Amino acid sequence: NFLQSFRNNNYTIIFADYSPDGSKILLTTSKDSLEIIDVAIGKKTVSPIVHPGLIMAKYNMDGKRIITASSDSTAKIWNASTGTLLHTLVGHDAGLLFAAFSPDNTRIVTTSVDRTAIIWDNNGLALDTLIGHTEKVIFAAFSPDSKNLITASEDKTAKIWDINSGKLKLTLKGHTDWV
């Protein structure tokens, strides 16, 4: 089976995500690559997508695009059907930890070791850099209506941001360790 081939080749699976319709999974590996596997047949659907560095990856809401975020300080948007690179997002000063599409598919967020999150449009244009955390920004999630974003950090806080203005709305404190 496909997962056994990972073990046989000494790959480590770093991150996994299902396509929105559940028909495919993507796996990022310790070999700087992304594999897309058809769940029904257990086989790869496209050649491995290579993005140097440790990467994580997520589908967009309609399953047509994938974003990878890498320790090489870039994010890349890929065509999910062909594996073709569509855009490279450059703007962080250090490795990326997370990336995701908004529910309405109009925005992207990336988080970084550089203590920032960046909001991008679908063509890789940086719209806003969210500054306010004092440690790595580990994770971010859009609200269901795509109007707000929450970021989580090693600084023991979560912050809620207005997507349109980029302004900080609320800082959630009280954790005794990273969020």
**pLDDT tens, residue order, the chain (179 aa):** 445 554 555 667 888 999 999 999 988 877 788 889 998 888 888 888 899 888 999 999 999 999 999 999 999 999 999 999 999 999 999 999 999 999 999 999 999 999 999 999 999 999 999 999 999 999 999 999 999 999 999 999 999 999 999 999 999 999 888 88
Residues near 160 by Cβ (< 8 Å), separated by ≥ 6?
148, 149, 150, 168, 169, 170, 171, 172
Q: Residue 14 has what pLDDT? A: 84
Q: Please identify which residue in the block is written with the tokens 């600084």.
A: 155
Q: Residue 103 has what pLDDT? A: 97
Q: Residue 101 has what pLDDT? A: 97
Q: Residue 159 has what pLDDT? A: 98
Output the 3-class SS for the chain.
Answer: CHHHHHHHCCCCEEEEEECCCCCEEEEEECCCEEEEEECCCCEECCCCEECCCCEEEEECCCCCEEEEEECCCEEEEEECCCCCEEEEEECCCCCEEEEEECCCCCEEEEEECCCEEEEEECCCCEEEEEECCCCCEEEEEECCCCCEEEEEECCCCEEEEECCCCCEEEEECCCCCCC
pTM here is 0.91
